[in-house]
Amino acid sequence: MQRHCEWISPHYDPRMSIEKSQVAFAESSLVMPGGVSSPVRAFQGVGGTPVFVADGEGCRVTDVDGNRYIDYVMSYGPLIAGHANDRVMAAICKQAGHGTSFGMPTMAETTLCDTIASALPSVDMVRLVNSGTEAAMSAIRLARAATGRNKIVKCAGCYHGHVDGLLVEAGSGALTLGTPSSPGVPKSVAANTLTVPYNDLDAAAKVFELHGDDIACFAVEPIAGNMGLVPPAPGYLAGLRELCDKHGAMLLFDEVMTGFRVAWGGAQVRYNIRPDLSCFGKVIGGGLPLAAYAGPKHIMEQVSPAGPMYQAGTLSGNPLATAAGITTLEILQEPGAYDTLETRSAQLQNGLETAAKDAGVPVCVNRVGSMVGLYLVDAEGDTVENFADATATSADRFATFFHAMREAGVLLAPSRFEALFVSLAHDEEAIEQTVAASEIAFAAVKRTDI
């Protein structure tokens, strides 16, 4: 244990300068709401000044003050091959030389959609869009169009983008900021969204008993990634499949985070459950704005221009994004890619659990594939299985842990409701350095508990 602390001590500086980030944040706050383009980046969940990043390479980023960090934000999931991966960058640059946007079909779109469809038994056809929010919004519209029903069901703490009807007990940034529902959402819109606890089949059955004739779809993150990282309980996803079949509703898997990250294809492949509709994003864009919704032919052919359900987008299927996505998926198809992700992520999980135990700090570390959820719980043995469990964890203790990790050269998402993302660029040395940093950070948490 001491060996780790001595090894990392040259990188540990509690007085790490963030002066340029402070100046940058003051300037951005004059022209951007909260100084950021997305809420959780503002560090409101942990306090302090956001890190303004200047450069990324592999599993590390460098901020404008010159501080270098091992990164577990990884753009909140897309960078599974690492920052500025040579092959991905080469594909983007090559395409940029031929044009950045056409508003007309390209063969690369077909290639990417074919790759996605070939990986998923539930998918025959794919529609490319620009963001996970757009994918979820469109998939729900399609479910309503296909069923002729109005209501949808979602789980408390699951986030499906900032669409009006989905900002009802949402997770991630909305949860961190203490506003799981948003002003500006009409009550009439929210009234068509029914909310149940994640991992609670009895509650799901009850809502179907009450509203089954008007439920278009049950939308769920098959692995909840916006309340930290919460795996599905055994039988939960299969139970949802049965309920949807029984009541004529569609099962919608939001795999914007998990698609092609937790397995080739995603959570639906890992757990062998076939949804009616799926949403993808993040990894399939390789770090550029790209997402998709997908499903069987008889449903997807209801999308315009093949069918009457309208959805469009000027930049959908952008050639730079498709080039990055195709190359990223090619990297993931190489032998051993997912084995490497599994090994490194398990090493991180085990190291964090050991470091916390040695420091006398109770934690729950959930993991599925290369997604990890770290919770500072009240007592040894406490688990996090749903939204209520996640919100019961200590925000103050997480803030202490977060800042101690940053000062030791490891950057986490500034919210206890975000997952840690491991990439192929996180080598054994990076994991060992992370665990060593966590020894310092857990010791800091322990001191605040005394």
Q: Quote the pLDDT of residue 97.
A: 98
Instruction: From the candidates 63, 71, 254, 276, give the one annotated as an active-site residue.
Output: 254
Strand order in the sheet with 420-421: 363-368, 371-376, 420-421
Is residue 345 helix, strand or coil?
Answer: helix
pTM reported for the whole predicted model: 0.92
**How many other C-beta atoms are found inside a 10 Å radius of the C-beta of residue 181?**
11
Give me the sign of the Cα torsion angle 44, 180, 164, 291.
positive
**Mode of pairing for the β-strands spanning 68-71 and 60-63:** antiparallel
Note the pLDDT tens digit of each residue in 203-249.
Answer: 999 999 999 999 999 999 999 999 999 999 999 999 999 999 999 99
Note the pLDDT tens digit of each residue in 337-349.
Answer: 999 999 999 999 9
282 assigned to active site: yes
363 to 73, 356, 360, 430: CA distances (angstroms): 20, 7, 9, 21
Alpha carbon 334 to its chain's center: 23
Q: Quote the pLDDT of residue 44.
A: 84
Instruction: From the candidates 69, 76, 282, 389, give the one annotated as an active-site residue.
Output: 282
Is residue 372 helix, strand or coil?
Answer: strand
DSSP codes of every residue in 275-298: -SEEEE-GGGGTTSS-EEEEE-HH
Residue 69 bridge partners (DSSP): 61
Q: How confident is the model at residue 168 (pLDDT cuts 50, 70, 90)?
A: low
Residue 174 has pLDDT above 60, yes or no: no
Note the pLDDT tens digit of each residue in 42-84.
Answer: 898 899 999 999 999 999 999 999 999 999 999 999 999 999 9
DSSP run (H or E) holding 112: helix 107-119
Instruction: From the candidates 69, 72, 159, 236, give the one annotated as an active-site residue.
Output: 159
**How many other C-beta atoms are found inside a 10 Å radius of the C-beta of residue 141?**
17
254 assigned to active site: yes
Tokens at 85, concatenated: 């991966």
